[in-house]
Amino acid sequence: MCVLCGQDFVAQVHWTDRHLEDRARAAAPGSDPVAYQGDRRRDRAHRVVLTNEILRHYGLKLDDWGGSKYVLRDRKGRSEIVQDLGSLWPAAERLAGRAPDPLDPALRETLLDGQPLSVAGW
Amino acid sequence: MTVVTGFLGSGKTTLLGRVLSEPSMSNTAVLVNEFGEVGLDHHLLRRVDERAVLLGNGCVCCTTREDLVDALLELLDLDQRGEIPRLDRVVVETTGLADPAPILHTVFMDPVLQHHFSVDLVLTTVDAVNGDLHLDRNPESVKQIAAADKIVVTKTDAAGPEAVRGIISRLGAINPSARVFEAAFGEMDADELFRRDGAVSRAASGATVGEPHDVGGTHSVSLTFDGAVDWTAFGIWLSMLLHTRGEDVLRVKGLLDVGEVGPVVVNGVQHTIHPPEHLDRWPDEDRRSRIVFIAKEIRPEELLGSLEAFRGLLGARPLSLGAGHAVPSQ
């Protein structure tokens, strides 16, 4: 970890982040770095919104943390910092006490209902 | 890099021996587990002992093969110092009982190897005489079929045409996305076999045949979506599925329409996903997503139901391709 910026050096890019990595590498020298950063931020914000649709079923919530990591929180105030979707699900399993399973009929119902659960305070 | 796997005695080495003798394969290094009775005569032959290091969650597919890392790094070193002719390809031969997933995992995860090697395809040999027996008795053999991009049915000369047809139909039922070749006496065209067209062309034609099959607890289902899929949402769904049910998902393979000019190639074996490629264009006229799932203990309806529930996030509904009929294991 870098002591100045608090960021880990990420040796392994998760496959779901690969397109961003590829785009960064494909960018021609001299191209606008701000445009890429904008894309990246939009992508991360979009991912947070979508992931929270699922996580609310488990009483969890994800936030972007400084554009470099995500923070996963439960309602008791416990939190974990995760790097990507690869480390998100194990963390969600620890906090929720059960494995998040997309095949779980109860999760399917929550998603199909589409009714936001009453999440007080959030 | 090509991974060659296959059942015990199914003719992996014979096939390799034939194929490697062709001039076009001269700059190919071969990593084998044992020097078998059929001596491979090749100047870049290396032996590796299967040494697996089990990681974190103890799942077999997420092990790192240290032996392979060492051997590949050595080859890379020789290649870059110019001590061997320029290396075009590495062929890794597994033992008959090996699960190919750890090999892919090793290459994708190693901090050095991931930048120097890519896995072109997984080739599985099945012998027409004993193939059925292996598939019945041996769960690893089903994994090898599921992981394959190309399957070579060997010893077709020794088995009757009836048996060959039977085994080919059964292989198609387990893995509808793989191309199946027949080889008598190990005669094969090397270019045809090692050319990397699996990911795209086969997903194109194979998946449309798509029928839910049930082969002794292993199900495969081909599906498409009624529109472009949100890649972020698909990544969330698939990473979640693989986290919890990764050991049951033997294979995911296909092309996904994500609303860009070209599709995304999705290719995964158990927990291990190939780095997804965003293509510049579609390989043919058909611009629909087509994706094949091979799973054990997960019914096709469960997968479809789950994707259906995620439709709000994905932005498209899943559609099963074709009507299904079961091919019972014999």
> Quick one: B82 exposed, middle or buried, by C-beta within 10 A (0-12, 13-18, 19+)?
exposed
Q: What is the CATH number of domain B203-320?
A: 3.30.1220.10
Q: What is the mean pLDDT of chain B?
A: 78
pLDDT at B281: 85
Residue of B115, B237, B241, B243 to mutate when probing chain A, most A C-beta within 10 A: B243
* Residue A1 within any structural domain of the chain: no
Contacts 24+ apart (CB under 8 A), A109-115: A109/B309, A110/A56, A110/A57, A111/A53, A111/A54, A111/A57, A111/B309, A111/B310, A111/B312, A111/B313, A112/B309, A114/B312
Can you give the length of chain B in residues?
330
Residues of chain B with CATH 3.30.1220.10: 203-320
Structure tokens at B98: 């090996």
> pLDDT tens-digit profile of B38-88?
455 555 566 555 555 544 444 555 667 777 888 888 888 888 888 777 778
pLDDT at B237: 95
Q: What is the mean pLDDT of chain A?
A: 82
> pLDDT tens-digit profile of B89-114?
888 887 766 778 888 888 888 888 88
Return the higher-pLDDT residue of B59 and B217: B217
Structure tokens at B320: 């099963």
- Among the listed ranges B4-8, B94-98, B129-133, which one has the minimum average pLDDT value? B94-98
Q: Provide the phi-psi class of B159: left if phi over 0, else alpha when psi is between -120 and 50, else beta.
A: beta
* ipTM of this predicted structure: 0.85
The architecture that CATH gives domain B2-196 is: 3-Layer(aba) Sandwich (3.40)
Per the CB < 8 Å rule, is A112 touching B241?
no
Whether this prediction's pTM lies above 0.90 is answered by no
* Residue A4 within any structural domain of the chain: no
Tell me the percentage of chain B whose pLDDT exceeds 70. Answer: 80
Interface residues of chain A, partner chain B, Cβ below 8 Å = 11-12, 14-16, 18-19, 22, 43, 46-47, 50-51, 53-54, 85-86, 88-90, 93, 99-103, 105, 107-109, 111-112, 114
> pLDDT tens-digit profile of B148-193?
888 888 888 888 888 888 888 888 888 888 888 887 766 667 777 7
Domain limits at A54? 15-113
pLDDT at B212 > cutoff 60 = no
Q: Could you tell me if B194 and B274 are in contact, meaning their C-beta atoms sit under 8 angstroms apart?
A: no
